[in-house]
Amino acid sequence: MDDLLVVKDLTKNFGGLAAVSEVSFEVRRGEILGLIGPNGAGKTTLFNLISGLLASDRGTIKLEGEELAKKPPYKRSAMGVGRTFQVVRPFDMTVLENVMVPIFAHYKTSKEAKEKAFEILEMVRLDKLADKMPSNLTLAQRKRIEVARALATKPKLLLLDEVLAGLNPSEVAENLPLIRQVRDSGVTILFIEHLMDAMMAISERVLVMDQGALIACGTPDEVTSDQCVITAYLGEEAPEC
């Protein structure tokens, strides 16, 4: 299999807290890889390390064989790492302009940037809201701005941090196919999600983190039957699969 991203022994401590410790895994080109784990497991921190917003203490992060660990975030973005944020904070400008922001790096004129941004908005079905301010949109729509903005960077690997959290079931049903659609357009996806059903439905493989460590990796079925995972994560709650 062709590995797009290879992470080895990645470690990050906050003072005495090992937020991410000795994490190693690979993301295969073209897959949807899920990342689950209880709150505080270190999932968002792992994304921060891969996207470069945090510097790692140890370990390597290789995208198509090239080391990312020492590169600033904007270079990693240019190399193909895109991400969304768990807490959506759209820029204080119209929906269209939000998507235009990263596009300027690829298209020099405003007009070209606008056209390209519009295409992406069509893909995430926000084209009709292009001239609205994000504050007038629903949470589900704002999460789609996040995805659109990240797609505008033309990522090879897209890191999605809880893009379904906080949405009602019908909104989840509306946003979920989008993830598959993005993958089908040629983007590899690593995504964090709390909703087990949704996660199991669309990921080919799942990583499980607990207290900074990677404790399991496999198909959704393998992972949910793993005893470690059941005790660490699914715990008292009834497993949903």
Ligand X SMILES: Nc1ncnc2c1ncn2[C@@H]1O[C@H](COP(=O)(O)OP(=O)(O)O)[C@@H](O)[C@H]1O
User: Which of 44, 51, 84, 153 touches Mg ion by CB under 5 A?
Assistant: 44
Q: Residue 106 Cβ, how far from another protein at the closest point, in Å?
A: 9
Q: Which three-class secondary structure state does DSSP give residue 236?
A: coil
- Whole-angstrom distance, CA of residue 29 vs CA of residue 22: 23
User: Which of 4, 27, 43, 80 touches ligand X by CB under 6 A?
Assistant: 43
> Considering the rule CB under 5 A, would residue 45 count as an interface residue with Mg ion?
no
Q: What is the dihedral of CA 85, 91, 92, 93, to 10 degrees?
A: -130
In Å, how far are 91, 201, 208 from 241, measured between CA atoms?
A: 38, 10, 15
Under DSSP, the state recorded for 98 is H
Nearest Cα to 172, choosing from 136, 196, 207, 148? Answer: 196
Q: Residue 81 Cβ, how far from another protein at the closest point, in Å?
A: 8
Q: Which residues contact 237 (CB under 8 A, 6 or more apart)?
A: none
Binding-site partner at residue 129 among another protein, ligand X, Mg ion, none, CB < 5 to 8 Å by type: another protein
> Considering the rule CB under 5 A, would residue 48 count as an interface residue with Mg ion?
no
Q: Which two three-digit tokens encode residue 202?
A: 């669309």
> Considering the rule CB under 6 A, would residue 37 count as an interface residue with ligand X?
yes
> Considering the rule CB under 6 A, would residue 40 count as an interface residue with ligand X?
yes
* Residues of this chain that bind ligand X (CB under 6 A): 14, 17, 19, 37, 39-45
Residues near another protein (CB under 8 A): 51-53, 72-74, 77-78, 82-83, 85, 89-93, 97, 100-102, 104-105, 108, 110, 113, 129, 131-132, 135-139, 141, 149-150, 152-153
In the complex, which residues of this chain contact Mg ion (CB under 5 A)? 44, 86
